[in-house]
Amino acid sequence: MSHVDYSPIQPLKRPGIVALVAAALVLLLVACSQEPEGVETIVASESTAATTSEVKSIALASVLVTEVTEERAPTVDRIEISPASIVLDPGETVSLSARALALDGTEIGDVQLVWTAPDSRAGAISSEGTFQAGSAPGVFDSSVSVTAIQNTFEGVTYTSAQVSVTIVGDAVLSRLVRIEIIPDQLTVLHQQIYRLRAVGLDENGVVIPGVSFDWTLNDEGLGRLNEIGLLTVDGVEGEYSKVVSVTGEWAGRQVSSVADVRVISAPEEDDYLNVHALPQRFFIEPGERLRLRAVALNGLGKIQTGTVLRWGMVDERAGVIDGEGNFIAGNVPGIYTEAVRVEAVVPGEDGFARTEDFASVVVRDIGIKQLDSLAVSPGTVIAAPGGKANLFVRTMDSSGNPAEAGITWEALDKSVGTVDEGGIFTAGTIPGVYKVAIRATAEQQDGDETIVRTGSVDIVITGTLSNSEVSPSLATVAPGRLAHFRVTGWDEHEIALPGLVVRWTVTDTNAGTVDVFGNFRASNIPGMYRDVIRAEVIQLQPPAR
C-alpha cells in the first residue's frame, strides 16, 4: 500500500594528436582517442588510512566565440551500433562499437559515447562498450543504448541509438495470471473525471507489456465509464463496493479484477499524489535480476510529470537495488514483506511533495544446481598503488541460473598485490600491466565428483600523473551557447588514469564561464580566446608505506 509523507583488455593508451586546418580561422588540434576493447573495468578506491599527497598537471583549451554561420562542422544525424544484432549465451560477453554519422553518412570523430543498459535482465555494459549477457533467456528489446555527446555551434547535442539483445536458451513464455488496478485504494471526488489504470502480471509478479484492457462499471449510480478507463463521477459521497471491473487479455487468455471506489466531496491531503510500485509482489530466484518500475499519479489519475523516483531496500536480506530500480535478489530464500521502498518526489510552488510505496519479495528455494561456468567481475581492475577493489564471481548452471559453489581466490603474480578470501584485492606498489594476475576457483561437490571451474582477472597498477589534455582542444560556439570539455590524464607509461580530480577555470571572463563539470557557456563577445579554458588535473596518491 502507498504511504504518503569478459576477455582481458589493454589499458587505454595516450591517443595521438592529429593536426586539422579549420576553415580559414585557426589551426585546430583534435585529440583522436583510441577506445579500448575488452571487458568491464573498475576504478579501485584509494586508501584513507593517512593523509594523501597530490600530483598536479595543467591542461589548456581554446574557445572561438563566433557569430559566423558558414562552414559549420557537421552534426551527428544518427548512430550505428556494431554488431547490429546481439545474440549471446547466458553470461557471455561481446565488445560493442558505435559510429556517429552525419547526414551524408560521413563519420564524426569528435564525440563522446556513453553506453547504458536500461534493462538489467538483459545484462550489464561497461563504459567502453563491453556487454555481458544476463542469465535469463529471452528477447530484450532496446536493452542497450549509446548516446553521442557533441559540441556544436549551437551548443551541446545528444543523439541516441538502441539495440536489442537475444539471450539463447529455453525462454519461458509469460502467462497472464492476474490484473492489478492502480492505485489499489481508489478515492475520487464528486464531479471529477478520473483516469483508471491497470497492469497485467505473470505468475512471478512481473509486468507483462501489451495487455489489452476492457473496463466495465457495475453500478451506474457512480457515474459513467468509457472503454479506455475514463471515469466520470456523478455519484454522491460514499463507498461503492466492487463497482469497477476490468478484464485483461494477452496471448489468448483473459483475467478479470474488480475494485472498490470511495467518493468524497473535498480532497484530502494525500489525494494529490500517489505512487505505485510495479510489481507490488514478485517471485524471484537467488541472484536473479529484475527491473522494478513505479508510476506516480496525480489526483486526476494522470501520470505526474517531473517526478523523481528514489529506490531503496527496507530489508537488505531480500537483495539490493540501485537508483534506477534494478533489483538483484539475495541468496537466502524467504518471504520479505514490503522489502523494497520507492519514494516519489515532485517539486511544487510550496516545496516538495512526497509519497512512497513498497514491494514485497519472495526469494525462491531452488535447491542445488550443478555448476557449469563462472564469470568474474570485473575482468580488469585499474588501481593506484595500494588501492583496493572488490572482486565478484557469478557461478551458473548450464542454463545460466545461479549455482551454489565454494570460491577461493589466489594472486598468481605476487608483485600485483594480495587478495583475501572475500575477494577484496589490495594492489602492490609496482606500476605495470599484469595479465591473468588473479585467479578465482569455484568448487562444487556432486556426489563423488568434484566440479571445478576457474576464471581470471587482469590488473593494471597505475603510475604517477605525467601529462593531461583537454578535449576538444578548441571549441567553436555561438554567443550564449554551451560547450562541454573533458580531461584525460596519463601516467609515465601512457596509461589513462581513473579517478582524477579536475578544477575548471576560465582565464578571461570575456570568453564566458565554466562550471565544475566542464560545461562552458560562451559570452556575447565574439573572438578567439586561446588557452582560455584551464583544467587543473589532480591525482590523489595514497601515503607511502
Pairwise CA distance, residues 423 & 367, whole Å: 25
Decide if pLDDT at 354 tops 60: yes
Q: Does the pLDDT value for residue 146 go beyond 90?
A: yes
Q: What is the pLDDT of residues 375-395, one digit of tens each?
A: 888 888 888 888 888 888 888
Return the pLDDT at 545: 54
What's residue 346's pLDDT? Answer: 80
pTM higher than 0.75: no
Give the pLDDT score at 23: 33
Residue with the bigger pLDDT between 348 and 104: it is 104
The per-residue b/e assignment along 250-273, b for 16 or more CB within 10 angstroms, e otherwise, is beeeebebebebebeeeeeeeebb
Nearest to 248 by CA among 210, 204, 293: 210
Give the type of residue at 198. Answer: A
- Residue spans of beta strands (DSSP E) within 378-526: 380-383, 388-390, 392-396, 406-411, 417-419, 424-427, 432-446, 449-461, 465-471, 474-477, 482-484, 486-491, 501-506, 512-514, 519-522
User: Is the pLDDT score of 535 beyond 90?
Assistant: yes
pLDDT tens readout for residues 178-203: 999 987 778 888 888 888 889 998 88
> Is 308 in a helix, a strand, or coil?
strand
State the average pLDDT for the chain: 82
Give the three-class secondary structure for 76: coil
Using CA atoms of 144, 179, 360, 277 in order, give the dihedral in degrees to the nearest 10: 60
User: What span, in angstroms and rounded, lies between the C-alpha atoms of 312 and 320?
Assistant: 8
Quote the CA–CA distance of 373 and 440 in Å, as a whole number.
12
Contact in structure between 483 and 475 (CB atoms under 8 Å): yes
pLDDT in tens, 10-55: 444 444 433 333 333 332 333 333 333 333 344 444 433 345 678 8
User: 428 by DSSP, 3-state: which?
Assistant: coil
Higher per-residue confidence, 179 vs 446: 179
In b/e form, how buried is each residue of 422-435, taking b as 16+ CB within 10 angstroms? ebebbbbeebbbbe
Task: Give the pLDDT score at 515.
Answer: 92
Q: Can you give the residue ranges of every domain in the chain?
A: 286-365
Choose among 16, 14, 8: nearest CA to 465: 14
Parallel, antiparallel, or unpaired for β 186-189 and 16-21?
Answer: unpaired
> How many Å separate Cα 17 from the centre of its chain?
32
Question: Is the confidence at residue 272, as pLDDT, over 50?
Answer: yes
Band (pLDDT 50/70/90 cuts) for residue 8 is very low
Among 196-210, 235-249, 295-309, the range scoring the smallest mean pLDDT is 295-309
The predicted pLDDT at position 298 comes to: 79
Mean pLDDT within 55-65: 91
pLDDT at 37 (0 to 100): 33
Q: How many residues does the chain have?
A: 545
Which of 237, 241, 233 shows the shortest CA–CA distance to 196? 233
40 class by beta-carbon count within 10 Å (0-12 exposed, 13-18 middle, 19+ buried): buried
Percent of the chain with pLDDT over 90: 35
pLDDT of 62 higher than 70: yes
Cα gap 289→204, rounded to integer Å: 13
Angle ∠(52,53,58) on CA atoms, nearest 5 = 135
Q: Which of the pair, 118 or 229, is modelled with greater confidence?
A: 229
pLDDT at 155: 78
| CA 198 – CA 178 distance, rounded (Å) | 10
Over residues 529-545, mean pLDDT: 84
Confidence class for position 104, pLDDT limits 50, 70, 90: confident
The residues, ordered by sequence, that sit 6+ positions from 215 with a Cβ below 8 Å of its Cβ are: 196, 225, 226, 227, 228, 229, 244, 245, 246
pLDDT of res. 269: 53
Which of the four pLDDT bands, split at 50, 70 and 90, describes residue 125?
A: confident
pLDDT at 342 (0 to 100):
93
The radius of gyration computed from the CA coordinates of the chain, to the nearest angstrom, equals 28
CB 44 within 8 A of CB 424: no
Write out the three cell numbers for 128. Answer: 567502453
Pairwise pLDDT comparison (121 vs 497), residue with the higher score: 497
- Over range 136-143, report the average pLDDT: 82
What are the beta bridge partners of residue 139?
166
298 or 474, higher pLDDT: 474
Most confidently modeled of 65-74, 97-106, 153-162?
Answer: 97-106
Confidence grade of residue 268 (pLDDT, cut at 50, 70, 90): low
State how beta strands 474-477 and 53-65 pair: parallel
CATH level 3 topology of 286-365: Immunoglobulin-like (2.60.40)
